[in-house]
Structure 1
Amino acid sequence: MASASPPPPSTSLTSQQPPSQLPLRAMPGSYGWPLVGPLSDRLDYFWFQGPEKFFKTRADKYKSTVFRTNIPPAFPFFGDVNPNIVAVLDVKSFSYLFDMDLVDKRDVLIGDFRPSLDFYGGLRVGVYLDTTEPKHAKVKSFAMEILKRSSEVWLRELLSNLDKFWETVESDISKNDAASYMFTLQRCIFSFLTISLAGVNPSVSPDIAENGWKMLNKWLAIQVIPTTKIGLLPPLEEIFLHSWAYPFFLVAGDYKKLYNFISEHAGDVLRLGEKEFGLTRDESVHNLLFVLGFNAYGGFSVFLPSLIGKIVGDNTGLQERLRLEVRKICGSRSGLNFRTVNKLELVKSVVYETLRLSPPVPLQFARAREAFKISSHDAVFEVKKGELLCGYQPLVMRDANIFDDPEEFKPDRYIGQTGSELLNYLFWSNGPQTGTPSQSNKQCAAKDMVTFTACLIVADLFLRYDKVTGDVSSITTVEKAKLV
């Protein structure tokens, strides 16, 4: 680890720090001329540079990991959306996004842009609530209780749906010499999550069983397209995808079907929200749908292909090492459980390293409650009350002051005492990996279930197969296990 001092391991990383001895520096950067500056930055972000180069070139220009700039959507049809942000691009400054004494998380999931509340039945669901709002504690507690109860069926349903996933992959390979697995994986994830979180099997509704995951894909895409680089021909993408917010009516029919499905069949979970946490039935349905569709299904749809692609595309011997560890500790699929998976040090490290380099949510935001001083590794800056802080996590997680060889994928990075300490600075879950989700913070309620699920998927893979080859989008060969 490099010499610069990182923040201490704490869920409130900033409040524990002693008064900084670093120099106070005027914050560099600017927003440019009205309209012209935001439009120029938007074109750089989406077209000329792309998100990563956008932030990196400005950090190099200002010789600072903290600076002011604009971020899309910035122009022209977004009403009162303000594109001005303070970028925080190192671990130390990024950690301020999780100090709830300093920052407000109200309506900042996608920066200053928020899709119409029609996407959530007219409600501000939990992710858009700040911790100071009374409703936040109720919704967060509801989500954590759902996850706690789901642990009874989580393992069983995951393995059952993985059976179907790999059967489809093997069949596609035999027919086509390759299997594009994204949609198959999403179908698997949707079925497993619906049973685990909502307590209902999608098969009770043929339409939801067949198309529910497609409905969620459309619902998610319509919300985030205005702020996301897709990769189409730049002029067309700018004109048709990034110039306005898309209306809810495009997915209203699908959302109503999902709402009715949950309302009619997830009675036990909905009664939990009403009786134990004081939510109305409508609030319970919409918040459950968001947890299921946006947080869980959306997050896994982004993260799992990165994890699978990293493993099946490896030619360094990592697969053999993972296979040996899994079979030594678990033995067979009957040996897969919370206890044995927790012993898979290399598997867990690979999962953490994938989360470091490919975080499911690259951008995280928070707004300053009051004026305060923010510190990078090199200097201290003054943040004004109401300013929006934005961290681009793919760069933050390659902070050379914290991570040795930060650009490299190191499977063993989190093994041993030194590796365990690095978990204090792994922030994929809206907080450090060592943090604990609670009513008083915005950390992902399913933080531990996500990593456990990912480890289970890797372990299951190497109990089934000796070797798998492919990439982030397709699998080309599988060699079934000879001895398990």
Structure 2
Amino acid sequence: MLSICSSMISSPSPPPPSSAAGTTRSIPGSYGFPLLGPLKDRLDYFWFQGQDKFFRSRMEAHKSPVFRANMPPTFPFFFGIDPRIVAVLDCDSFSSLFDPALIDKRNVLVGSYMPSLNFTGDIRVGVYLDTTEPGHAAVKKFSLDLLRRSSAVWFSSFESNLSRMLSTIESELGQNSSSNFFVPLQKCIFSFLCKSIIGVEPSVSSEVGDSGFVMLDKWLALQLLPTVSAQALPQPFAEIFLHSFPFPFFLVARDYKKLYNFVAKHGAEVVSIAEEYGLTKDEAIHNILFVLGFNAFGGFTVFLPALITTIGRDKTGLKQRLREEVRSHIKSEKGVVGFEELKGMELVWSTVYEVLRLNPPVPLQFGRAREDFELNSRGARYPVKKGELLCGYQPIVMRDPTVFDRADEFVADRFVGEEGKRLLNYLFWSNGPETGTPTVQNKQCAAKDHVVATACFMLAEIFRRYDDYECGDGMDFTKLEKATNTAAAVPGGVK
């Protein structure tokens, strides 16, 4: 399935060379006074301006998509962290982050700050390893093999869990004017990932089956809270209690141990595969939990709600176009979504890509300069020194007007046709271009193709089952109109 779907995104030509000419500029911007500069930038980032305005205002002030600034977390209780970054906010400069010859990815998943290794069993899991480190190739090969083996059940497991989720929402809409889909969706994601990656339904353990997704939510939150905006508390309380210190692992230690034991007991066959790549049992389990919990569960939890609500709130006729395309490609008498059918749904794929462009699951990318080099950006070159930390904010990068026409608008068919395929060279949501391939030589997301194909399959299933749906301002379905075409309404799946 994934090899078939991947063929859709082959680029007609490689990315064009940088347009940067010989003009060399010093990187504008300042880090300010020690302690005060980082603190001011942190308050702007979280409080006075917010993430988007933080980057945009500095880009406008310096008249450059490349500039110096400080990134939180900072003072007072974060030790050994250098908040200084070089922001790279256009496609040209941002693409440098994915060149292993220029960039070291060691311990920079969320910047200079790195959550305690206690959260990953005192092991630096694959995402924290640079491509030059001996352990990286083994973990990446294991991850790629894990995903390859999961392909046999990936979509059938997702379909069955999606069906269960939609039935829950249908039932609630029969009694209320709206139905919040966030928790049912998280249960769906967690269950299908356990089956696909570990090889077992989470329901084999009553505790993990009922609360496993909540355990992962807490585990993720404690690692990321110091680096993300939080709506749970008003300011200044959010700054005092959520952004001023790292959170200790002991708050989720019991839950993590339960998840560890679950994988050790029920995923023994999968864990044993790691031995073929020179990994110990402990290394295998912690890497499996990170791939499942941080990469897959965390990523889908951010991306799929954005996809559902973007289309559910659309008033341009996109839903009708998607429905017509999906049903025109379903040729099976049972009305199921098959691999070949999905491959031909150009608008579905383009819509998914466009949501990824505007709402990347991981908005920030970081990398440290291996050596001195010159960074290309919009007709200029900027000297970067060895060891400097580069930071790209994708919601701005993916709106680069020199690459994308009507860059701030949602254009569902942007990636349709030959010109659309060319633009995929600049869709960087997966820690690399969409036209790239995850290998042991790079840091591109191993599950890149799985993510896009899963999202396309979800859309196809929704428009196979329903004539229309609508979403409210939050994560709510306010309407699910069942398909009037009886063939389309038949419970389906993957051929």
Specify if TM > 0.5: yes
Q: Which runs of 5+ in 1 are unaligned?
A: 1-7
Task: Provide, for residues 93-137 of structure 1, a one-character-per-residue CA deviation record: whole Å limited to 9, x for no partner.
Answer: 000000000000000000000000000000000000000001000
Mapping 1:77-476, distance limit 5 Å = 77-231=77-231, 232-274=233-275, 276-331=276-331, 335-471=336-472, 472-476=474-478
Contact 2:19 2:378 in 1 (8 A): no
Q: Give the aligned partner of residue 491 of structure 2.
A: none
1: CA distance, partners of 2:331 / 2:85 = 51
2: CA distance, partners of 1:109 / 1:159 = 31
Give the superposition deviation at 1:19. Answer: 9.4
2: CA distance, partners of 1:57 / 1:228 = 19
Task: Provide, for residues 75-99 of structure 1, a one-character-per-residue CA deviation record: whole Å limited to 9, x for no partner.
Answer: 1100011100000000000000000
Contact 1:68 1:87 in 2 (8 A): yes
2: CA distance, partners of 1:112 / 1:66 = 18
2: CA distance, partners of 1:355 / 1:9 = 22
1: CA distance, partners of 2:339 / 2:435 = 18
Q: Give the aligned partner of residue 480 of structure 1.
A: 482
Give the superposition deviation at 1:268. Answer: 1.1
2: CA distance, partners of 1:108 / 1:481 = 47
Q: 1:169 to 1:46 in 2, by over 3 A?
A: same
2: CA distance, partners of 1:135 / 1:126 = 8
Give the superposition deviation at 1:174. Answer: 1.5
2: CA distance, partners of 1:316 / 1:407 = 16
Contact 2:186 2:301 in 1 (8 A): yes
Question: Helix, strand or coil for the counterpart of 1:405?
Answer: coil
Contact 2:109 2:366 in 1 (8 A): yes
Aligned residues: 472
Contact 2:65 2:90 in 1 (8 A): yes
Question: Aligned pair 1:29/2:29, yes or no?
Answer: yes
Question: Helix, strand or coil for the counterpart of 2:86?
Answer: strand
Q: For residue 466 of structure 1, what is the amino acid of its counterpart?
A: D
Question: Helix, strand or coil for the counterpart of 2:425?
Answer: helix
Contact 1:365 1:390 in 2 (8 A): yes
Q: For residue 171 of structure 1, what is the amino acid of its counterpart?
A: S
Question: Helix, strand or coil for the counterpart of 2:175?
Answer: helix
Question: Helix, strand or coil for the counterpart of 2:403?
Answer: coil
Question: Helix, strand or coil for the counterpart of 1:229?
Answer: coil
1: CA distance, partners of 2:136 / 2:339 = 30
1: CA distance, partners of 2:338 / 2:106 = 38
Contact 1:73 1:227 in 2 (8 A): yes
2: CA distance, partners of 1:172 / 1:336 = 26
Give the superposition deviation at 1:340. Answer: 1.7
Contact 1:155 1:337 in 2 (8 A): no
Q: Give the aligned partner of residue 4 of structure 1.
A: none
Q: For residue 125 of structure 1, what is the amino acid of its counterpart?
A: V
Question: Helix, strand or coil for the counterpart of 1:86?
Answer: strand
1: CA distance, partners of 2:249 / 2:402 = 44
2: CA distance, partners of 1:19 / 1:184 = 47
Contact 2:21 2:379 in 1 (8 A): no
1: CA distance, partners of 2:131 / 2:341 = 35
Q: 1:337 to 1:166 in 2, by over 3 A?
A: same
Question: Helix, strand or coil for the counterpart of 2:46?
Answer: helix
Q: 1:260 to 1:9 in 2, by over 3 A?
A: farther
Give the superposition deviation at 1:230. Answer: 1.1
2: CA distance, partners of 1:70 / 1:192 = 39
Contact 2:81 2:112 in 1 (8 A): yes
Give the superposition deviation at 1:477. Answer: 1.1
Give the superposition deviation at 1:388. Answer: 0.2
Give the superposition deviation at 1:17. Answer: 4.2
Contact 1:372 1:384 in 2 (8 A): yes
Q: Which runs of 5+ in 2 are unaligned?
A: 1-11, 489-495
TM-score, structure 1 as length reference: 0.96
What is the alpha-carbon root mean square deviation over aligned residues?
1.3
Give the superposition deviation at 1:210. Answer: 0.3
2: CA distance, partners of 1:77 / 1:66 = 29
TM-score, structure 2 as length reference: 0.94
Percent identity of equivalent pairs: 56
Contact 2:352 2:456 in 1 (8 A): yes
Q: For residue 482 of structure 1, what is the amino acid of its counterpart?
A: T
Q: 1:9 to 1:361 in 2, by over 3 A?
A: farther
Q: 1:170 to 1:19 in 2, by over 3 A?
A: closer
Question: Helix, strand or coil for the counterpart of 1:31?
Answer: coil
Give the superposition deviation at 1:21. Answer: 2.1
2: CA distance, partners of 1:19 / 1:104 = 24
Give the superposition deviation at 1:228. Answer: 0.3
Give the superposition deviation at 1:18. Answer: 7.1
1: CA distance, partners of 2:389 / 2:316 = 42
Deviates more, 1:169-178 or 1:380-389: 169-178
Q: Give the aligned partner of residue 3 of structure 1.
A: none
Task: Provide, for residues 119-163 of structure 1, a one-character-per-residue CA deviation record: whole Å limited to 9, x for no partner.
Answer: 000000000000000100000010000110111001110110011
1: CA distance, partners of 2:176 / 2:221 = 29
Question: Helix, strand or coil for the counterpart of 1:459?
Answer: helix
1: CA distance, partners of 2:26 / 2:212 = 51
2: CA distance, partners of 1:372 / 1:9 = 26
Q: For residue 476 of structure 1, what is the amino acid of its counterpart?
A: T
1: CA distance, partners of 2:20 / 2:39 = 36
Question: Helix, strand or coil for the counterpart of 1:364?
Answer: strand
Deviates more, 1:426-435 or 1:335-344: 335-344
Question: Helix, strand or coil for the counterpart of 1:87?
Answer: strand
Question: Helix, strand or coil for the counterpart of 1:382?
Answer: strand
2: CA distance, partners of 1:157 / 1:367 = 39
Task: Provide, for residues 364-422 of structure 1, a one-character-per-residue CA deviation record: whole Å limited to 9, x for no partner.
Answer: 00000001000101310000000000000000000000000000000010001100100
Give the superposition deviation at 1:336. Answer: 1.7
Contact 1:9 1:424 in 2 (8 A): no
